[in-house]
Amino acid sequence: MAYESRYFVYHNRTASTDSDSHLERCQQVSDDMARLVTAAIEAGMTAGGVKSDLTAHQLMLILWGQIVGVMKILRMREKNFDAAYGISRGALFDRFVGMVERALAP
C-alpha cells in the first residue's frame, strides 16, 4: 500500500532502465497481480459465474479497493475488536467476502 500510494504508475508507463531496482520490482509485482485478478474475473464472466456491467479491469479496481480498505480496518483495529463490534475479525472478513460474492452472482 505504501508503494502504490507513492510510486505506482498505472497509466502511460515507460519501462525503467534499471529493471533490478526495488521500485521496478514492486511495480512488476503490482502489474502482475492486477493482470492475475483481471484474468480471474474475465474467466468468471466468461463461465457465467460473475455478473457485472463493468469491464473485468474496472471490476478488479473496485474489488482491490474494497479488499485493501477492509484489510486496513481489520489491521488498525486489532485490539478488542470482538468486544467493540460483537464479531471476530475473521468472521467480519468472511461476511465481507459473502457480500461481494452475492453482489457478483448471476
**Domains in the chain: boundaries:** 2-104
Residue pLDDT, tens place only, 90-102: 999 999 999 999 9
On the question of pLDDT at 2 being above 70, the answer is no
| Measured distance CA(54)–CA(49) in Å, rounded | 14
> Which pLDDT score is estimated for 22?
75
Residue pLDDT, tens place only, 17-64: 566 677 777 778 888 998 999 999 999 999 999 999 999 999 999 999
Length of the chain: 106
On the question of pLDDT at 15 being above 70, the answer is no
Write out the DSSP string of 38-93. HHHHHHHHHHTS---SS-HHHHHHHHHHHHHHHHHHHHHT-TTHHHHHSS-HHHHH
Question: Rounded to two decimals, what is the model's pTM?
Answer: 0.74
